[in-house]
Amino acid sequence: MDHALPRLVGEDVQVPCADGHQRRYVNLDYAASTPMMADVWEAVEAFVPYYSSVHRGTGYKSQIATDAFEDARHDVARFVGARPSDHVVFVRNTTEAINVLAAALPAGTRVLSSPVEHHANMLPWRKHDVRLLPFTRSPEHLLEATEAALRSSPTDLLAVTGASNVTGEVWPLAELASLAHRFGAQLLVDAAQLAPHRAIDMAATGIDYLALSGHKLYAPLGAGALVGRMPDDGEPLLHGGGAIELVTLDDVIWLDAPDRFESGSPNVIGVVALAAACRQLLRVGMDTIAAHERLAVRYLWDRLATVPGLELYSLWPGDSTDRIGVATFNLDGYRDPLLAAILSAEYGIGVRHGCFCAHPLMAELRGYDDDDMREFAAAIRAPGPNPHHPGAVRASIGVGTTAADIDRLVAALHSIERFGPRSEYAYDGEHDEYSPRALAA
């Protein structure tokens, strides 16, 4: 499972545990935010002395910073296989990228999406005319449902994930692009989870728009990108300096893309880090990374299946399903926030818990129907304590994950299932979190 993979900052960090011992931290929360690659940190350190404002500054540092900022567009475009006509718009993250596109498209754009999406690729489309596909149980079912939906009603944009942040399934993007184009639609891909794990070629696949985040791409400094041919007359999400050709007291003339969509002072250091990550991942080779992670995720799922009382969640079951390094589960007898707290406090293992900004998908996986969710919403709006969300625990892996890390997680789960926690845990009802109170005798 070990290849010539990037070095990560903080790989050997020791953390205190509830028994008073220090343990090497096992990071199984890559899907939330990745560690920083050492090469990215080195690129940031080399740039920081020259950090300055970009665009229109005549000072030497401003010119250096502007060149670095603009050169980063080429690095990102190359990483995702963009077409020469595509724009690279720098934003804070995938959420902002999709909101930028939603604002730029004409009012009433007819959007087809899915209930599997992260909220970032769900909520922005509600200002338009949006329809949702059904939950599907295989790639073939997804393609059949997509074709039927496209055939039944005119569609301008198909907006889907590249890989689920909850269940890890990789979506058949080339086939979806072909279907979208056949029926006169464009394809937007939320690649926040896909980009760190698989090679992307927008031109070859037929992706029209793509959104990604640096903090999931081993460059966690608050920069992301929206890539695609932006509308010439699109409305900017943010109105302000840096995107303007001329302002009068009653008129505004916007710049062309990409500047039109980048109002305000940008996160130059974040953009430099994102570009460095793209270069380094291409040097290592995304096929090398994918090969490492396919072995790791298969090992993760196989080992988790040995834990009694553990339920793994998936939309598309089966060993042949292409899946990024995500495994979401629950263990009998333990609510997800408690299980996550035990793994952290007693074993030094970092995971994520909750609904992962994908409430409809988690409700489906947990068996909650529409009536259940309406009752749940009413209970949240009512006075008093909020009900517990139908959550789970998510372990997610990346280039730094080893077989030993997975073994640590599985051994911890076996121990918890058999012997229970060794500490007592205090419950914080306001935040629905647990923290260790004392080490049990």
Nearest to 261 by CA among 290, 292, 225: 225
d(CA 297, CA 289): 12
357: annotated active-site residue = yes
DSSP 159-199: EEESB-TTT-BBP-HHHHHHHHHHTT-EEEEE-TTTTTTS-
Please report the sign of the dihedral spanned by the C-alpha atoms of residue 397, residue 398, residue 402, residue 403: positive
Considering all CA atoms of the chain, what is the largest pairwise distance in Å, rounded to the nearest integer? 73
Q: Cβ of 411: how many Cβ atoms within 10 Å?
A: 13
Rg (CA), the chain: 23
- Find all residues with CB under 8 Å of 195, minimum gap 6, and list them: 79, 80, 162, 212, 216, 217
d(CA 270, CA 277): 11
CB of 9 within 8 A of CB of 38? yes
Nearest to 305 by CA among 416, 415, 410, 166: 410
* Residue in the structure block whose two tokens are 């295989």: 138
- Active-site residue (options: 17, 278, 355, 357): 357
Helix (H) or strand (E) holding 283: helix 268-284
Identify residue 271 by its one-letter amino acid code.
V
CB of 324 within 8 A of CB of 198? yes
- Find all residues with CB under 8 Å of 266, minimum gap 6, and list them: 54, 69, 90, 223, 242
d(CA 216, CA 198): 13
SS3 at position 309 = coil
Measured N-to-C along each axis, helices 38-47 and 268-284 cross at an angle, to the nearest 10 degrees, of 140
d(CA 299, CA 403): 8
d(CA 103, CA 160): 17
Looking at the DSSP assignment, which residues form a beta bridge with residue 246? 253
Active-site residues, by number, are 357
